[in-house]
Amino acid sequence: MPTTVLDIKGLKTHIQLSTALVRAVDGIDLHLDAGETLGVVGESGCGKSMTGLSIMGLLPPGGSIVDGSIMFGETDLTELSQDQLRKIRGNDIAMVFQDSLTALNPTKTIGYQVAEPAWLHRGMSRQEGLDRAAEVLDMVGIPRPKERLDDYPHQLSGGLRQRALIAMALVCEPKVLIADEPTTALDVTIQAQILQLLDRLKEELGMAVLLITHDMGVVAGRADRINVMYAGKMIEATTTRRLFSNMHHPYTQALLGSIPQLDQDADAVLFSIPGLPPDLADPPDGCRFAPRCQYATDRCRTEEPPLSADTADHYFACHHPVDGPAERPIAARAALRSVAANGDAKPLLQITDLVKEFPVGNSLLPAQYRGSVKAVSGVSVSVRAGETFGLVGESGCGKTTLGRLIVALDRPNSGELLLNGDDVAKFGRRTLRRRRRDLQMMFQDPYASLDPRMRVGAILAEPLVIQGVGNRSSRRARIQDMLKEVGLPQSAVDRFPHEFSGGQRQRIGLARALMLNPAVIVADEPVSALDVSIRSQVLNLMKRLQAEHNLTYVVISHDLAVVKYLSDRIGVMYLGRLVETGSGDDIYNRAAHPYTAGLLSAVPIPDPTIERAKEDTGVRGELPSPINPPSGCRFRTRCPRAQQLCADEVPVLRPFGPSHLAACHFPLQPPTEDATEAVAASA
């Protein structure tokens, strides 16, 4: 029989605010056995992280556990003093936080922060602690660990910082590891490496892992059991395979149905959960999911469903349970298809040999001694009117820089960027200001891109005022029409950005980009910060508005399923260069470049059978420095097919189909032209 290391019964955690009492965790039960991984999933604000913080005794100001027990072995953590908790926290129970940059102290070295738990809990000397820190950094796969001891967090990449955070949690070999969204901010390649690392360390150290995430693909491949939370309550709990194949709660079914997948029909509307989770300061009566549930009845709105079971290991709280996943839409929505799908539209945006480098180092030194970041290196691509062109690749590959060049927020060092035949890079300041109405951008973080001191009405009116479009009454009418277009109430004009949810703020960002009827909209990670349910709403909105207004999108994302769903054509970037372009089917079914194939293999699939059968063919290692990129093919240092030719010569884009190009000396598919000796040798 498995040994239970953590057993939670009836846990209630409340947070007292100045004007309200928030019931963040409202009577949940869960248990965690030795050596297992338990996934906890749900939307933001459902109580997942607050459960983890309750276990650790790290509640925010005003937070307290008002009822229930948290048994760690024979010890009830809710009855311990802070001094007693400190002896357990970081020693027997450790936590990996979501944002490694804010979780690590920027004023302390990596070595100090990883060694600190060993000094405090194990009584090691300073040198013994640093030796232990180097040992654990090596265990989590950080190259040259002894050299990293003196580095500060800002000197590490996102993936290395996350590894350092895991090392800090593991230095005392805890019995329980709480991983709170440990891969949310990472690229799919680094995410896959971190998840594989956690699996390996769990086996080596015999830990139990509580994996908190909103990514159903992550838990599909890693968790033994899954608990689904909604509005502070546990609403379904069972084994991973049973949850994905035979879930019973409509919320679980809706979560899974909201995820765009690689085989998603691009013409079909994504399923989305209407509305938002309830305010936990004033939760509704009855079932808390009832206001958003398509199966809800009067009974659901008045009577709270108990947590019942149909088998010994499957619990759910629902008056009208479902039986397995929902059917995907079969009929295609032709209205969602962009006009560019016909291939008749003319190029609207023509990019040729575009180069952008950023100087680094002391500005007093001559340019030849300073070096530069090679952000974009000779990119050429065209985008047709009404088309969606997707850009994918890891962080640091130049996607966002290329997007900023397109909307003229940055100027290229060389090359051409033609908008309807006019070179944007050569526009003067006055001309650029006038033409900027044709080039708009949706930013990754809608909250940071909206002025917190301006009301939404003023935010939407600003582009019209700057461009001198219309009078006050016509602007007001335009704002009202645009709010209706993006699905926001007319009363939104008098509210500030902080009064909206993340999905609503992204709708405001899209409305602002559309105010001037632009020719091109660059959407930089438009849904990466959103829950899966809200993400599908925004994606459906973008597709509908494109079809109705013949919009042209350049969509930048590291989420390959999102890009495939939105895009007519896709470009794969690596370290400043386009290494492959083609249709969604070309990229996802006939990838020619090893980097593209590596990205695809790293994408987590929300299907336990597929996810656990995948071979480890993902991209390994860290992205090389863009200041001194590798010679020849820049991917060669991470490529399993690389040979000497890859170091000596830069590969050129070659055809692999009617609109399919890839730059590789030893591709995964034969080119349509006559095979070269190099390709023949690789075969």
Number of residues in the chain: 683
- pLDDT of 498 reads 86
The rounded distance, in Å, linking the Cα atoms of 390 and 404 is 15
Q: What mean pLDDT is predicted for residues 635-646?
A: 94
Banded model confidence at residue 365, pLDDT cuts 50, 70, 90: low
The rounded distance, in Å, linking the Cα atoms of 497 and 452 is 6
- The answer, yes or no, to whether residue 675 has pLDDT greater than 60, is no
Banded model confidence at residue 362, pLDDT cuts 50, 70, 90: low
What residue ranges do the domains of the chain occupy? Answer: 4-79+218-316, 335-585, 591-682
Helix (H) or strand (E) holding 517: none
The rounded distance, in Å, linking the Cα atoms of 635 and 637 is 6
- pLDDT of 616 reads 65
User: What is the CATH code of the structural domain delimited by 335-585?
Assistant: 3.40.50.300
Banded model confidence at residue 193, pLDDT cuts 50, 70, 90: confident
- pLDDT of 131 reads 95
Query: 30 - beta bridge partners?
Result: 8
Backbone angles phi, psi at 562, to 5 degrees: -65, -45
- pLDDT of 185 reads 65
Banded model confidence at residue 649, pLDDT cuts 50, 70, 90: very high
Query: 414 - beta bridge partners?
Result: 355
Query: 577 - beta bridge partners?
Result: 574
> pLDDT above 90 covers what percent of the chain?
56
Domains 4-79+218-316 and 335-585 share a fold: yes
First to last CA, the chain: 51
Greater confidence (72 vs 489) lies with 72
The rounded distance, in Å, linking the Cα atoms of 382 and 389 is 9
Q: What angle do CA 601, 603, 607 make, to 5 degrees?
A: 100
- pLDDT of 66 reads 96
Helix, strand, or coil (residue 443) = coil
Q: What's 357-398 look like in SS3?
A: EEECCCCCCCHHHHCEEEEEEEEEEEEECCCEEEEECCCCCC
Greater confidence (596 vs 430) lies with 596
Greater confidence (17 vs 119) lies with 119
Banded model confidence at residue 388, pLDDT cuts 50, 70, 90: very high
- pLDDT of 167 reads 92
Banded model confidence at residue 335, pLDDT cuts 50, 70, 90: very low
- The answer, yes or no, to whether residue 179 has pLDDT greater than 50, is yes
Banded model confidence at residue 328, pLDDT cuts 50, 70, 90: low
- pLDDT of 332 reads 42
Banded model confidence at residue 175, pLDDT cuts 50, 70, 90: very high
- Sorted by sequence, the CB contacts under 8 Å of residue 521 that are 6+ apart come out as 440, 441, 442, 513, 514, 551, 552, 553, 554
Banded model confidence at residue 265, pLDDT cuts 50, 70, 90: confident
Query: 351 - beta bridge partners?
Result: 381, 417
Banded model confidence at residue 329, pLDDT cuts 50, 70, 90: low
Q: What mean pLDDT is predicted for residues 623-649?
A: 93
Sign of the CA dihedral running 397, 181, 92, 62: positive
Q: What mean pLDDT is predicted for residues 586-590?
A: 92
- The answer, yes or no, to whether residue 503 has pLDDT greater than 80, is no
Helix (H) or strand (E) holding 521: strand 520-524
- The answer, yes or no, to whether residue 683 has pLDDT greater than 50, is no
Q: What angle do CA 656, 661, 667 make, to 5 degrees?
A: 60
The rounded distance, in Å, linking the Cα atoms of 392 and 542 is 18
- pLDDT of 370 reads 65
- pLDDT of 406 reads 93
Banded model confidence at residue 264, pLDDT cuts 50, 70, 90: confident
The rounded distance, in Å, linking the Cα atoms of 540 and 546 is 10
Pairing label, strands 37-41, 208-213: parallel
The rounded distance, in Å, linking the Cα atoms of 555 and 577 is 17
- The answer, yes or no, to whether residue 678 has pLDDT greater than 70, is no
Greater confidence (134 vs 196) lies with 134
The rounded distance, in Å, linking the Cα atoms of 273 and 294 is 9
When the pLDDT of each residue in the chain is averaged and rounded to a whole number, the result is 88
The rounded distance, in Å, linking the Cα atoms of 478 and 524 is 25
CATH fourth-level superfamily of 4-79+218-316: P-loop containing nucleotide triphosphate hydrolases (3.40.50.300)
* pLDDT 10s digits, 285-325: 999 999 999 999 999 999 999 999 888 889 999 999 999 88
